[in-house]
Structure formats: structure tokens, C-alpha cells
């Protein structure tokens, strides 16, 4: 019985430590910085993109913010946001 409670305690410590490491990885990942940069780019160059592409990109950036603990998903959302902006990029001729 003592062995079981000791193993259970060690497992609890391991899970708590692992959980905090996962959180640190998500927070220290540059994904959140990339989200902010892309949001700033959209704000500055809004007229260069169609309304639909900006909406799609912002939707993906919102999803990326919620995926901050999963850097792979966060990066995928950022890639999708950039793709939406590329697809909706207006030509300079169209602006005039």
C-alpha cells in the first residue's frame, strides 16, 4: 500500500511538472508575436486586401490565439491567415 501511494505521489508531481512545461512552451513560442505582427500588417495595409480576405485572415488569427498551447496548430492558423491575404491581395491598378 505504501508503494502504491508513493507511486501515485510521484505520478502527480510528474503531471504537474509536465503541465507547466507545456504551458511554458506555448507562451515562449514566437507564434503570439507573429499574430501581433500580422494583425498590425492588416491594420496598416487594409486597403491592399479584399474585405473577404481580411475577414478570413482575422478568423484564422483568432483561432491561432486560442491555440497558443499548441504551437503546431498556432503556426498552421497563421499560415492559413497569410494564404487568405495572398488570395485577396488587390493589384495596385485596382485601387485607383
Which pLDDT tens digit goes with each residue over 51-79?
Answer: 999 999 999 999 999 998 899 999 999 99
Task: Flag whether pLDDT at 11 surpasses 80.
Answer: no
Mean per-residue pLDDT over the chain, rounded: 80
Domain, as residue range, for 49: 2-95
Greater model confidence, 7 or 90: 90
Task: Flag whether pLDDT at 38 surpasses 60.
Answer: yes
Q: What is the count of structural domains for the chain?
A: 1
Q: Grade residue 83 by pLDDT with cuts at 50, 70 and 90.
A: very high
Over residues 1-18, mean pLDDT = 60
Q: Which three cell numbers stand for residue 51?
A: 474585405
Question: pTM above 0.75?
Answer: no
Distance set, CA 8 to CA 18, 20, 61, 68 (Å): 15, 19, 40, 30
Amino acid at each position: 500500500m505504501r508503494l502504491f501511494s508513493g507511486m501515485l505521489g510521484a505520478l502527480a508531481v510528474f503531471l504537474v511538472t509536465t503541465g507547466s512545461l507545456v504551458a511554458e512552451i506555448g507562451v515562449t513560442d514566437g507564434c503570439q508575436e507573429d499574430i501581433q505582427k500580422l494583425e498590425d500588417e492588416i491594420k496598416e495595409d487594409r486597403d491592399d486586401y479584399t474585405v473577404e480576405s481580411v475577414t478570413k485572415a482575422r478568423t484564422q488569427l483568432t483561432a491561432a490565439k486560442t491555440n497558443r498551447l499548441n504551437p503546431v496548430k498556432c503556426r498552421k492558423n497563421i499560415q492559413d491567415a497569410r494564404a487568405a491575404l495572398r488570395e485577396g491581395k488587390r493589384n495596385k491598378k485596382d485601387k485607383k
